[in-house]
Amino acid sequence: MSNIVILGAQWGDEGKGKVIDIFAPKVDYIVRYQGGNNAGHTVVIGGDEFILHLIPSGILHSKKKCVIGCGVVVDPKALLDEIDVLKKKGIRVDGRLFISEGAHVIFPYHKRLDELKEEKRKKLGTTKKGIGPCYSDKVARTGIRLVELLDKDVFKEKLEAILEEKNDILTNIYGEKGYEFESLYKEYLGYADRTRQYVCNTTILLNDALKKGKSILFEGAQGTLLDVDHGTYPFVTSSNSTAGGASTGTGVGPTKIDKVIGVVKAYTTRVGEGPFPTEFTQELMERIRKRGKEFGATTGRPRRCGWFDSLVVRHSIMVNGIDEIVVTKLDVLDGLDHLKIGTAYRYKGKVYKDFPYDIKALESCEVVYEEVPGWKEDTTGVTSYSALPPNAKNYLKRMQEILKTKIVLISVGSDRRQTFSR
- Specify the CATH number for the domain of residue 307: 3.90.170.10
Dist. CA 12–CA 265, nearest whole Å: 10
Residue type, 278: T
- Of 214, 239, 260, the residue at which a domain comes to its end is 260
User: What per-residue confidence (pLDDT) applies to 298?
Assistant: 62
User: What per-residue confidence (pLDDT) applies to 49?
Assistant: 73
User: What per-residue confidence (pLDDT) applies to 156?
Assistant: 98
Tell me which of 28, 41, 104, 114 is the catalytic residue: 41
The pLDDT of 35-64, averaged and rounded, is: 80
The reply to whether 309 belongs to the active site is no
Residue 235: helix, strand or coil by DSSP?
A: coil
Dist. CA 214–CA 28, nearest whole Å: 6
The domain that holds 118 is classified in CATH as 1.10.300.10
User: What per-residue confidence (pLDDT) applies to 44?
Assistant: 66
**Mean pLDDT, rounded, of the chain:** 93
- Give how many domains the chain has, as a whole number: 3
pLDDT category, 47, cuts 50, 70, 90? Answer: low
- Of 151, 174, 195, the residue at which a domain comes to its end is 195
The domain that holds 68 is classified in CATH as 3.40.440.10
Whether residue 185 sits in one domain with residue 319: no
Whether residue 178 sits in one domain with residue 211: no
Report the Cα 169 to chain-centroid distance in Å.
Answer: 30
Whether residue 148 sits in one domain with residue 14: no
Whether residue 42 sits in one domain with residue 29: yes
Could you tell me how many residues make up the chain?
422
The pLDDT of 156-165, averaged and rounded, is: 96
The pLDDT of 65-87, averaged and rounded, is: 95
297: containing domain? 264-421
Whether residue 219 sits in one domain with residue 131: no
Whether residue 19 sits in one domain with residue 89: yes
- Of 235, 260, 285, the residue at which a domain comes to its end is 260
Report the Cα 145 to chain-centroid distance in Å.
Answer: 22
pLDDT category, 125, cuts 50, 70, 90? Answer: low
The reply to whether 41 belongs to the active site is yes
Whether residue 393 sits in one domain with residue 279: yes
Angle in degrees, CA 313, 305, 273, rounded to 5: 85
Whether residue 210 sits in one domain with residue 190: no
pLDDT category, 416, cuts 50, 70, 90? Answer: confident
pLDDT category, 300, cuts 50, 70, 90? Answer: confident
Helices (H), 299-412: 310-320, 359-364, 390-403
Residue 297 has pLDDT above 80, yes or no: no
Whether residue 332 sits in one domain with residue 360: yes
Query: Using the 8-state DSSP alphabet, how is residue 279 labeled?
Result: B
Q: Are 8 and 230 in contact (CB under 8 A)?
A: no
376-393: pLDDT as tens digits: 999 999 999 999 999 999
Whether residue 322 sits in one domain with residue 408: yes
Residue 111 has pLDDT above 70, yes or no: yes
Dist. CA 42–CA 24, nearest whole Å: 14
